[in-house]
């Protein structure tokens, strides 16, 4: 089981093992994770492909460039196809196939799947991550902020939560070990980005469940949500430093997720460049989160703590490449990647990632070794010097309660940060037995139809379609756009990756859809 990190003490809790105070806690590095929402791999002026692309020319993100100049850029970094699975993986170090939190979450007990014409979507853990065992259809697990809190960190949550459903304990990020909570709740988007709308117009009842929490002091003001959250993040960091506490800042921007609303600070630049209104608005939202990153980096320098702070910047899934109802055009395209958010093609999974850990990451360095969002959990714990005693949570599935066991799916990539080679052939897995989009999904290869599992090992990637058992094999080194299916040309590689993927899904007891026509479960990919 070389993809699993076994830990020795299955039932020990990290809080039993980690120091809670004293000089050791005070010398720990501060850690910042800035996570943007739906920002595609190419939605930045910092190039992540082998060559600069037209999208790199469109967007303006000088602060991501600055972070890359000062830190390490990852050109093969991954999240998941949609929001909640990424956020739960980051918080737990567990793969979405294991937790069964494999689609985005919303209201308690209500699946967000769109009906699939040919598949019955399986019972997944649609209530998301929960701080208790007793919530049906959820995963309860040790979280990253709980571990860091126990080790003496001030844990700060700014922005979007989206861990658990409305009217469950998991709708409140505070329940997962955050000392400070600003903004986050169950919702996957804000009702509005404008303070003048109170961040969700009272005249629009459909929007009010989406209103960000804790932002009342900005109601009625001419301020954009990205900016208001940054002000709050700066204040929380200043307070932690004043209190002499190392801090973990999880800053999950809502932007550039829908609703696509222009950030007035930046939009004119893109209109002047000739972009249509929707795309100009999207570009302004990207520049807004970039400005936020710069404000945080400036703060670290002003406080004299930049050398003692590790900064991660990434996105939670690929760019939204379907036309939105409001704007009518796709906001981004992810080219040269295929597809976008909601897909297990590269356009749905691949994200920008830059890490600056002063004294460890070489300035301006680039890593091509694949890493994924579930790796953040063990990586950050290693940076913090926290020993993890093992997951001791449980799944509360349709069938009953199942103990999680001691394994993590994530692997620390601290060796990569140190400049070592890592494990380029370590397999990465995605499992998405859902139909996410579909309102305007562009046919059988777009995110609209959904329901796939995928594995990447080295340069090879296999996509397994639940609808008909079809297998697609791509060589990403030669075909990053996944245009040339080599499954028939490379039967041994196809069989090997099918076996690898099937073995993993079987190991974690992944749920599969049922085919409407036959009433039979979709087999694992090595069973056909
Ligand atoms: Ca997202």
144-188 confidence digits (pLDDT tens): 999 999 999 999 999 999 999 999 999 999 999 999 999 999 999
Give 316 Cα–ligand 1 centroid separation in angstroms: 5
Work out the average pLDDT over 117-122: 92
Residue 182 is classified by DSSP as: E
* Ligand 1 center to 349 CA (angstroms): 11
Q: Say if residue 10's pLDDT is above 60.
A: no
pLDDT band at 79 (very low <50, low <70, confident <90, very high): very high
Q: 37 CA to middle of ligand 1, Å?
A: 4
Q: For residue 443, what pLDDT is reported?
A: 41
Q: 204, 337, 336, 213: which is closest to 259 by C-alpha?
A: 204
Q: How many CB atoms are located within 10 Å of the residue 522 CB?
A: 25
Whole-number Å distance, alpha carbon 15 to ligand 1 midpoint, is 31
Q: What is the DSSP letter of 463?
A: E
Measured in angstroms, how far is the CA atom of residue 440 from the centroid of ligand 1? 18
Q: What is the mean pLDDT of the chain?
A: 91
Tokens 């290693």, residue?
382
pLDDT for the residue 329: 61
Please calculate the CA angle 309-310-313 and round it to the nearest 5 degrees: 130
Q: How confident is the model at residue 1 (pLDDT cuts 50, 70, 90)?
A: very low
Enumerate the β-bridge partners of residue 428.
456
Average pLDDT on 284-297 reads: 98
Q: Is the pLDDT of residue 44 over 50?
A: yes
CA of 189 to the centre of ligand 1 (A): 9
Q: How many CB atoms lie within 10 A of CB 75?
A: 17
What is the 389 CA–ligand 1 centroid distance (Å)?
A: 30
* Residue 463 or residue 390, greater confidence: 463
3-state secondary structure of 157: strand
| DSSP, res 11 | T
Does the structure show a pLDDT above 60 at 2? no
- Residue 198, pLDDT > 80, answer yes
Q: Is 20 helix (H, G, I), strand (E, B) or coil?
A: coil
Span from the CA of 82 to the centroid of ligand 1 (angstroms) = 5
Q: For 382-434, how does the pLDDT look when each residue is reduced to its tens digit (9 = 90+)? A: 999 999 988 878 999 988 899 988 889 999 999 999 999 888 899 999 999 99
* Distance (Å) from CA 58 to ligand 1 centroid: 21
The values of phi and psi at residue 449, to 5°, are: -85, -35
Q: What is the pLDDT of residue 446?
A: 52
Count, residues in the chain:
528
The Cα 16–Cα 19 span in angstroms is 8
Does residue 473 register a pLDDT over 50?
yes
State in Å: Cα 518 to ligand 1 middle.
34
Distance between CA 269 and CA 212 in Å, rounded? 28
- 6 burial type by CB count under 10 A (0-12 exposed, 13-18 middle, 19+ buried): exposed
| Distance from Cα 148 to the centre of ligand 1, integer Å | 25
pLDDT at 3: 31
C-alpha 83 – ligand 1 centre gap (Å): 4
Going from the Cα of 69 to the center of ligand 1, the distance in angstroms, rounded, reads: 26
Distance of alpha carbon 163 from alpha carbon 88, whole angstroms = 6
Q: How many angstroms does the Cα of residue 418 sit away from the middle of ligand 1?
A: 29
CA of 525 to the centre of ligand 1 (A): 27
User: Would you call 36 helix, strand, or coil by DSSP?
Assistant: strand
Ligand 1 mean position, distance from CA 9 (Å): 34
Helix (H) or strand (E) holding 228: helix 225-242
* Secondary structure letter of residue 484 according to DSSP: -
- The reported pLDDT for the residue numbered 18 is 41
Identify any residues that bridge with 457 across adjacent strands, giving them in sequence order: 460
> How many angstroms does the Cα of residue 128 sit away from the middle of ligand 1?
15
Q: What is the pLDDT of residue 115?
A: 85
Distance from C-alpha of 357 to C-alpha of 522, rounded to nearest angstrom: 44
**Cα(251)–Cα(316) distance, rounded to whole angstroms?**
12
* E strand or H helix at 238: helix 225-242
Tell me how far the alpha carbon of residue 307 lies from the centroid of ligand 1, in angstroms: 30
Tell me the pTM: 0.93
Strand ranges (E), 273-358: 309-315, 350-356
CA pair distance 98, 120, nearest whole angstrom: 20
The pLDDT-based confidence of 325 (bands split at 50, 70, 90) is low
What is the distance in A from the centroid of ligand 1 to the CA of 313? Answer: 14
């Amino acid at each position: 089981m070389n993809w699993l990190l076994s830990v020795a003490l299955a039932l020990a809790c990290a809080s039993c093992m980690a120091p809670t105070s004293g000089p050791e806690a005070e010398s720990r590095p501060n850690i910042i994770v800035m996570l943007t929402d739906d920002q595609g791999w190419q939605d930045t002026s910092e190039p992540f492909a082998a060559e600069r692309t037209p999208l790199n020319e469109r967007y303006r993100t000088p602060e991501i460039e600055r972070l890359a100049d000062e830190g390490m850029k990852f050109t093969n970094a991954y999240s998941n196809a949609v929001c909640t699975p990424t956020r739960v993986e980051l918080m737990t170090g567990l793969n979405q196939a294991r937790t069964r939190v494999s689609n985005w979450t919303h209201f308690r007990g209500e699946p967000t799947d769109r009906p699939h014409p040919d598949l019955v979507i399986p019972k997944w853990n649609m209530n998301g991550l929960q701080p208790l065992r007793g919530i049906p259809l959820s995963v309860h697990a040790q979280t990253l902020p709980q571990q860091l809190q126990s080790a003496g960190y001030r844990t700060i949550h700014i922005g979007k939560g989206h861990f658990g459903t409305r009217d469950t304990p998991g709708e409140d990020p505070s329940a997962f070990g955050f000392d400070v909570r600003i903004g986050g709740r169950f919702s996957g988007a804000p009702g509005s980005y404008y303070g003048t709308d109170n961040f969700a117009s009272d005249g629009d009842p459909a929007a009010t469940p989406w209103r960000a929490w804790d932002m009342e002091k900005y109601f009625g003001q001419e301020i954009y949500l990205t900016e208001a959250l940054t002000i709050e993040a700066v204040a929380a960091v200043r307070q932690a430093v004043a209190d002499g506490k190392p801090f973990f800042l999880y800053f999950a921007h809502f932007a550039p997720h829908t609703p696509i609303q222009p950030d007035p600070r930046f939009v004119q630049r893109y209109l002047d460049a000739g972009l249509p209104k929707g795309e100009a608005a999207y570009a302004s939202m990207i520049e807004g989160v970039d400005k936020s990153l710069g404000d945080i980096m400036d703060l670290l320098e002003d406080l004299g703590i930049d050398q003692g702070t590790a900064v991660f910047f990434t996105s939670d899934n690929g760019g939204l490449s379907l036309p939105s109802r409001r704007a009518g055009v796709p906001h981004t395209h992810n080219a040269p990647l295929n597809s976008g958010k909601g897909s297990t093609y590269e356009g749905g999974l691949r994200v920008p990632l830059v890490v600056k850990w002063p004294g460890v990451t070489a300035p301006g360095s680039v890593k091509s070794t694949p890493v994924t969002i579930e790796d953040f959990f063990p990586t950050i714990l290693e940076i913090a010097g926290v020993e993890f005693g093992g997951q001791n949570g449980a799944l509360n599935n349709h069938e009953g309660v199942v103990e999680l066991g001691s394994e993590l799916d994530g692997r620390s990539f601290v060796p990569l940060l140190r400049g070592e080679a890592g494990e380029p052939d370590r397999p990465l897995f995605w499992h998405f037995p859902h139909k996410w989009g579909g309102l305007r999904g562009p046919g059988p290869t777009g995110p609209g139809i959904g329901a796939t599992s995928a594995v990447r090992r080295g340069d090879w990637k296999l996509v397994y379609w639940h609808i008909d058992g079809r297998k697609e094999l791509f060589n990403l080194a030669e075909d990053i756009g996944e245009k040339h299916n080599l499954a028939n040309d490379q039967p041994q590689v196809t069989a090997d990756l099918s076996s690898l993927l099937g073995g993993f899904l079987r190991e974690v007891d992944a749920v599969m859809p049922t085919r409407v026509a036959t009433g039979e479960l979709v087999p694992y990919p090595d069973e056909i």
